[in-house]
Structure formats: C-alpha cells, structure tokens
Chain A
C-alpha cells in the first residue's frame, strides 16, 4: 500500500517538475491575439463587413496550409517561427466613433492582452486608437485609413500599408492632365478649358476634410479652378441643398470623398436634380462599395473612383484571382478596395510576426521597420511593402500605388469597374464625357 502511494507521489512530482520545465512561452505562443477594430454598425457597416471578411480570410489562410497559393503565409499552418502559433482575431465595433475606438483599444490591450492591433478604416478612429497604442507601446498596423497626417506624427508603434490621400489626389490631377494630353485610352485630347473648373463635396471628419484640403492644394498646383469646396456630415439624411450648391458652381468636374450611405444619397440627389458635369470622381470608400453599385444600378455608368483594388486586377495577377475566389466563396462578393486592403493589413501582420519570431513588442517593432514584402506576394497591385523609418513620414509603406476605375455597363448588363489610370494598365476605353443621368 505504502509503496503504491510512493510511486504515485513520485509520478506527481515528476509531472509537476515537467510542467514547470516547459518554457511558459511555448504555451502562450499557441495563439497570437490581434485586436481588430472596424465600423461594424452605423453608416459604414457595409464597409465594416467587407473589412472584417478580408481580415478573417487572411487569418484563415495564415492558420492553415494552402500550398496552391503562391504566398509565404499560405505555405504552413500558423506562424512557423513561433512554433506554428495560430492567429486569433478579436473583433470589435467602433461605430465610427473615435472615443469609443480609443476605449476599445484600451480594453483590448489591458483586458484581452492582445499582441497587436489592426484597424480602423475611419481615419478619425485610427488617429485615437493609434495614440492609445503609442502610449502602451503596442504595435498597430493600419491597412485602410488614408488621411496623410496619420504617418506624420512621428509615432514609433504605427505602420500603414495603404498609400494615402496625397498620392491618390495627385493621381487624380495627373489623370486630368493626361486627359487633356490625349493619354487616356479611347478619348481624344480634351481641350483644357472643357475640364478646367472643379467643385468638391467631402464628408467633414478627419478623412474627408483632409481630402478637401488636398484637392484645393493640388488644384492650385496644377492650375485648375476650384469653384466650390464644401464639407457635409456623412450622417446627413438629406443633401439636397449641398447638391444645389454644387450645381450652382457649374463645374466641369465634380469630386467627392464620401462614405457609403452618403455616397448613395449624393448620387441619388444629383440624379434627381439632373446634374451633368463632364467628370464625376469619388475618392474610393463609398464609391466602390458593392451597395453603391447594387442600389444605384445603371445611373452610375461613367462615374470614376480611385481605389487600390479592382476585380480587373485579377486578370493581371494570378494570386489576386485565387484569393478573390476564396473571398467570393465566403461572402458572395468580389474583393474590393476595403477587403483587399484589410487582407493585406493582416497579411503584413503575419509577415511581421514571422520575421520577429517573438511577440515581444520590441521584436515586432524591429521586424516591422525592416520588413520587405515583394509585390508578387500581395493581392493588391503594389510594388510591395516597405515602411519608411526616417524623414517626415514614419511607418508609411513607400511601395504602394493607386488606381482609378470607371463604372461601365458591360455587354452582359452588369456594372463593372474598368481601369482607366495608370494609363499603361487601362482595361477599357474611358466613357467621356459623363453621360447624363
């Protein structure tokens, strides 16, 4: 009896020592927690669903082996350098509210003990959340907020993969100048005076008001005449006086920076008021959401939007096509600018963790600052991802680029986005001028 007990005690002791000897890290590393903060309810809920689906798809690919996909994170299960640790997303809803975003970030950091943050789409929310991350020295990667100021604050724990509005807005003016020089596929050189007057309407939070300022700045630089630039609340339920004001300026080119429901409302109101500018251009966001297309139908034929991803990219990039198929299987929609960038954001997180081989914030910081992801591993048509580590901008990806697409009704009656800029990758003749509603 006694010897039986002795054996038992001995076995227990061995087990205890054994457990203690296993490095505690190995247990913790089984899961890497990334806090994901997106607008899942409110006016941008549609965008939020896309962003969430994009990030979830990237996490799924990272956590399972899919050798068919020609990207490093699909080759093995989990993070190889961390012993196959899996990525776990903790998803929160900021409702478009910067204060709520900051609270959620604190909760994620202090209660959920996340290893890093991804988000937040709204530049205004990214601003407050990144400030919290900076305070707690928790790394944050941002995939889809395009306000230029975000990477000009000298933050050491914030990295942005997407190009920002300064580049996109410059693209727009390069495009307009190209139009006057006959560089656009299918359009003869347009006399400058036909597209010389501009008017802009931008939503008035961090993102839109910055775009408005940039339009003003570049209009001056490129010598266009900005006749009206107005700001409106994205939550407006009526924009008829704004639209009348835009029309009153009689612009050749109308420029917008809008989120989803306001973009739909704007175009609907423009149609009811029979506005007929020669060019209508939207700064991504609402203008390239599936809802925008579904709700407005044929009336968007000829509208331009800048973006970073178009379904047409699939034709030039095999990897984008494969990921698009997986995404379509999951959501029923094609990848768009929001989902592709959320995907890329999380993909960058995976690459950074792989390179760091640790979840120590300092190791992640060092890895992010020296990472180099080649363009061929990405779904977006960029040269790659490399973050600036010195100069005015800190943490900005310097290898990104934008596209301008135009909605065109295809032969099958479906509304497709065709690439019209950069000129060398155009996928169709541009419709010019904008057909009347």
Chain B
C-alpha cells in the first residue's frame, strides 16, 4: 500500500511542477502562435541561476526564485526584441527553425560557460529532508515545497491573465491581433510580455527543480519534450488545461511505481523482471501520440 500511495503523491507533486514548466510554453503559443523549442533551455538557465545564486550568496535555494524569475523575464524580453520579432516576419518554417536555433545557441552557450559536468545542490533548509506520513510513506520536503510554490506561481499567472487589464489585453492579442491593434492595444508589447511571462515561469520552475534534480547543459530537451506533451494533452494555449495535463503527465511518469505495487503486492514474479523504470517517459509520449491522433486540439484546447 505504501508503494501505491508514495507513487501517487510523487506523481501529483512532480505533476504540479511540470504544469508550471508547460505554462510558459502554452502562454507563448496562445498569444503568438509560435512554438518555442528553446523552452527547456530557459528552464535549464533557471536551474543554473537558482544553483549559482544559492551557492554564491549562501541563501537558501528556495529564496532564489525572484532572481531566477527576473532573469527569465529579462531573457524572454531580450529574445523577443532581439530575435523573435524579426523571425515573426518570415513563414512558419522560419519561426520553427528560429526557436530551434535559439535552443542550440542557449545550450551551447551554457556548455561554454558552465561545462558539461552535472551539478547539484547539496545544502539548503529542505535539501535531503523528508516527511514521514506513517506506513512507510515518505515525501521529500523539497518536492513538496516545489509543488506548493509551483501552484502559487500558477495561480498568480492565472489571476494576471484573467483578472487584470493587462491579462485581458494579452487574451485579446491571442484571439485576434488585428482587432486588438484597432482597439489601441500595443500588441507588440503584449507579445514581448508573453515571452517575459513564459521565460519567467520556466526559470522559476527551473530554480524549483534544481532543489532535487541535478543540472547539466543538456537537461533542457527532456523538459521541452515533456512540456510539449503536456501542452498537447491540455490543449494549445489553455492555462487550466496545462495544469490538469501536468498532473496527468506527473502520474504517467509514476507508472513504474504502480507496476511495482502490483508486482510486489501480488508477488507476480514475471512483473518484477520487467524494467519499467527504463520506460518511464515512454508512456508520456505514448499519451502525446494518442491525444494527437484522437483529439489534436487537446482536452481543453480552444485554438484551432
């Protein structure tokens, strides 16, 4: 039983963090119809920002979030005005290849600056600590904190999008850029803001994740792929969809845990021998594939 409950908790907690990872991607897509391949690289930069800020200043890694958020916001804006703005004038293919190039650039820049070694946090108030809920159910403190803060960040963005004037302007730009321009909305600035929010939420997610994962310059691709799956599942451009799909994907990555629960509860010898953990991300992509075939718009998608 403890295996099942532990896996459920682990899946939901990581799901909340993954939802935040996908949030930035879905906002940028929703507002500008552009798929950002460099999304995972933003997150990787967030991981390095969190790690290095904590190491350089000695503050707890959890307090580095504002720094990471600011770096991500600035990076998003710079990328927009310095690069994306020009790429947008070209055809769809140019936009795809453009962000793909941005991904390669950021990754290799990180490789140049930080080297290819894995780095991880070893000190912090919560690092290595965990709560025991009884019955052998253990929840790592860093994951719980990361999940909580992810939800908080998620709610903040949702409020921004739905309860403020700026959010309305963003939505208007997403629905009909030309119409929005006629109404006096500075769509150019809204696009930049979308990139800023997208970048900031990715780097904040990165600074949370670095509390329990290690980082190297190549880590971004995994997150880009997972974020794609989440966004596809939740629906391109849908914020609540991203949250819901994040939880689903979090649980999907825990399929090996559920498998173990079955095999050791019922002592199925053949099940014990299946190397499920090696396939933990495979199920995410299977879900991605299935949703693409049967409901390309995603569960909550509204953009056709």
User: Which residues of chain A from 219 to 237 have any CB-CB distance to chain B below 8 Å in the complex?
Assistant: 227-228, 230-232, 235, 237
Looking at the complex, which one of B219, B222, B280 makes contact with A241 (CB distance below 8 Å)?
B280
* In the complex, residue of chain B having the shortest beta-carbon distance to the beta carbon of A272: B140
A227 touches B272 (CB 8 A): yes
| Contact A241/B216 with A272-B130, A274-B132 known, Cβ cut-off 8 Å | no
- Using A240-B212, A245-B276, A261-B214 as known contacts, say yes or no to A268 and B128 having CB atoms under 8 A apart: yes
CB pair B10–A244 under 8 Å, yes or no, is yes
Q: Mark B219-260, 1 if CB is under 8 A from A, else 0.
A: 100100000000000000000000000000000011011001
Q: Which residue of B lies closest to A238 (CB)?
A: B213
How many positions in chain A have a CB within 8 Å of any CB in the partner chain?
Answer: 33
From residue B298, how far is it (CB to closest CB) to chain A in Å? 26
Contact string against A for B residues 94-133, beta-carbon threshold 8 Å, 1 for contact and 0 otherwise? 0000000000000000000001111010100000111010
Report whether B261 and A41 are in contact in the complex, using a CB–CB cutoff of 8 Å. Answer: no
The answer to whether the Cβ of A362 comes within 8 Å of any Cβ in the partner chain is no
When chains A and B are docked, how far (Å) is the Cα of A44 from the Cα of B240? 42
**Chain A residues, CB < 8 A from B132:** 274
Distance between Cα atoms of A240 and B216 in the complex (Å): 18
A189 on the interface (CB 8 Å rule)? no
In the bound complex, CA of A267 to CA of B260 (Å)? 21
Q: Which listed residue, B122, B140, B264, touches A248 by the CB 8 Å rule?
A: B264
CA distance A227 to B269 in the complex (A): 9
Minimal beta-carbon separation of A96 from chain B (angstroms) = 9
Q: Digitize A263-284: 1 where CB-to-B-CB distance is under 8 Å, 0 elsewhere.
A: 0110010011110000000000
Select from chain A the residue with minimum beta-carbon distance to B122: A295
A41/B117 contact (C-beta < 8 A), A248-B264, A265-B214 known: yes
Q: How many angstroms from the CA of A237 to the CA of B217 in the assembled complex?
A: 11
Shortest beta-carbon distance, A434 to chain B, in Å?
17
Is B164 close to A, CB under 8 A? no
* Chain B window 44-58, contacts with chain A (Cβ cutoff 8 Å), 1 for yes, 0 for no: 000000000000000
Decide: A237 and B117 in contact? CB cutoff 8 A.
Answer: no
Q: Is the CB of B117 within 8 A of A274?
A: no
Q: Are B138 and A204 in contact (CB under 8 A)?
A: no
B171 within 8 A of A: no
| Cβ of A125 to closest chain B Cβ, rounded Å | 16
- Whether B117 contacts A45 by the Cβ 8 Å rule is yes
Given A244-B10, A244-B257, A41 contacting B116 (CB threshold 8 A): yes
Instruction: Take A41-B115, A265-B120 as given contacts and tell me if A237 and B257 are in contact as well, using a CB distance cutoff of 8 Å.
Output: no
A41 to B215, CA, bound (A): 15
Bound-state CA distance A238–B14 (Å) is 11
B130 touches A273 (CB 8 A): yes
A241 near B257 with CB under 8 A, answer yes
Q: Is B304 an interface residue (CB 8 A)?
A: no
- Interface readout for B176-197 with A: 1 if CB under 8 Å, 0 if not? 0000000000000000000000
Nearest CB in chain A: distance from B138 CB, A: 5
Interface residues of A in 103-126 (CB under 8 A from B): none
B277 within 8 A of A: yes
Residue of A nearest to B254 (CB): A241
Does A325 belong to the interface (CB within 8 Å)?
A: no
A95 within 8 Å of B (CB atoms): yes
**Chain B neighbourhood of A299, CB < 8 A:** 128
Smallest beta-carbon distance A169→chain B, Å: 19
Task: Determine whether B91 belongs to the interface, using a CB cutoff of 8 Å to chain A.
Answer: no
Do the beta carbons of B212 and A238 come within 8 Å of each other? yes
Complex Cα spacing A264 to B130, Å: 18
The answer to whether the Cβ of A242 comes within 8 Å of any Cβ in the partner chain is: yes
In the complex, the chain B residue whose C-beta lies closest to that of A295 is B122
Q: How many angstroms between the C-alpha atoms of A238 and B120 in the bound complex? A: 11
Given known pairs A237-B216, A240-B212, the reply for A273 and B140 (CB within 8 Å) is: yes
Please tell me which one of the listed residues B6, B118, B138, B278 contacts residue A261 in the complex, with CB atoms under 8 A apart: B118
**Is the CB of A42 closer than 8 A to any CB of chain B?**
yes
Complex Cα–Cα for A45 and B118 (A): 10
Q: Could you say which residues of chain A place their CB within 8 Å of the CB of B256?
A: 241, 244-245
Distance of A413 from chain B, by nearest CB (Å): 18
**Min CB distance, B263 to chain A, in Å?**
8
Q: Which residues of B contact A228 (CB under 8 A)?
A: 272
Q: How far, in Å, is B126 (CB) from chain A's closest CB?
A: 10
Q: Closest CB-CB distance, B273 to chain A, in whole Å? A: 8
Find the residue from A45, A204, A272 having the highest chain B CB count within 10 A: A272
Name the interface residues of A257-311: CB closer than 8 Å to any CB of B. Answer: 261, 264-265, 268, 271-274, 295, 299
Please indicate the chain B residues that have their CB under 8 angstroms from the CB of A45 in the complex: 115-117
Q: Are A240's CB and B10's CB within 8 A?
A: yes
How many Å lie between the Cα of A120 and that of B222 in the bound state?
29
Q: Is the CB of B260 within 8 A of A244?
A: yes
Contact: B277 with A245, CB < 8 Å? yes
CB-defined contacts of B122 to chain A, threshold 8 Å: 268, 295
Which A residues touch B272, using CB under 8 A?
227-228, 249
Task: State the Cβ distance, A344 to closest chain B Cβ, in Å.
Answer: 27
A273 cross-chain contacts in B, Cβ below 8 A = 130, 138, 140
Name B115's closest neighbour in chain A (CB-CB): A41
List 9 additional contacts besides A42-B116, A231-B275, A235-B118; criterion CB under 8 Å: A43-B118, A43-B216, A230-B277, A230-B278, A237-B118, A244-B10, A265-B120, A265-B214, A273-B138
- Chain B residues near A (Cβ < 8 Å): 3, 6-7, 10, 115-118, 120, 122, 128-130, 132, 138, 140, 142, 212-216, 218-219, 222, 253-254, 256-257, 260-261, 264, 272, 275-278, 280
- 10 shortest interchain CB distances as A-B pairs: A261-B118, A248-B260, A272-B140, A237-B213, A248-B3, A238-B213, A237-B214, A242-B277, A42-B116, A41-B116
Task: Name 17 A/B residue pairs within 8 A (Cβ), A-sorted.
Answer: A45-B115, A232-B278, A237-B213, A241-B253, A244-B3, A244-B256, A244-B260, A245-B256, A245-B257, A245-B260, A248-B3, A248-B260, A249-B260, A271-B128, A272-B129, A272-B130, A273-B138
